[in-house]
Structure 1
């Protein structure tokens, strides 16, 4: 299994994704309260070391990955989809190409 990042990093990442999804009032949401409660409940102290904490950390890291991947998917979906039919020039510029300016011309005319 790959090494997981620190629990604080995962907690901050989850809260960042919640803020991006819900806006500035994310602290009043049930999801925020649940995440903070779970991180406080599964905190490791010097007296104990348990497998449940590692499982909770792995679940939190997986949830963070899900939230960030979903946000990235929506950004890409909105960028590449839903604009209807594009002209040939727009489709060519989307992939980094340029159409000739004059069909049948020699190419140097503007």
Structure 2
């Protein structure tokens, strides 16, 4: 049960990061996630679904949201900004130029 709470909290945190509305009371995504979490408190055998279906679904969405955020960060860091100098390019990939002190 404790791991389920951690997953839901992490999912809510990621949804807040991608949300355009800062007011959590008006956020429809957060309301939906909380409704689903409360609706599936009962054992999933009552609903005739796989035992860990909601947990697996929440983990997949959490992984998706984290991956999207990481992709945006990487794109922002390495996106083309026109021509770069040789030094900037070397610094970007972690190399040192021959005339730089080692």
Name the TM tier (shorter chain): 0.7 to 0.9
Structure 2 residues without counterparts, runs of 5 or longer: none
Q: Which runs of 4+ in 1 moved over 4 A?
A: none
Over the aligned positions, Cα root-mean-square deviation in angstroms equals 2.3
Q: Find the aligned partners of 1:70 and 1:18 in 2 and give their Cα distance.
A: 11
The whole-number CA distance in structure 1 between the counterparts of 2:44 and 2:63 is 25
1:71 aligns with 2:69: yes
Query: Please, what TM-score do these two structures have when normalized by structure 2?
Result: 0.79
Q: Pick the structure with greater CA Rg.
A: 1
**How many pairs align?**
96
Deviation at 1:49, TM superposition (A): 5.4
Name stretches of at least 5 consecutive residues in structure 1 with no aligned partner. 102-106
Spell out, residue by residue over 1:38-88, the C-alpha distance to the aligned partner (whole angstroms, 9 max, x if none): 0000013xxx45263521111111111111111111111111113222111
- Deviating more after overlay: 20-29 vs 87-96: 20-29
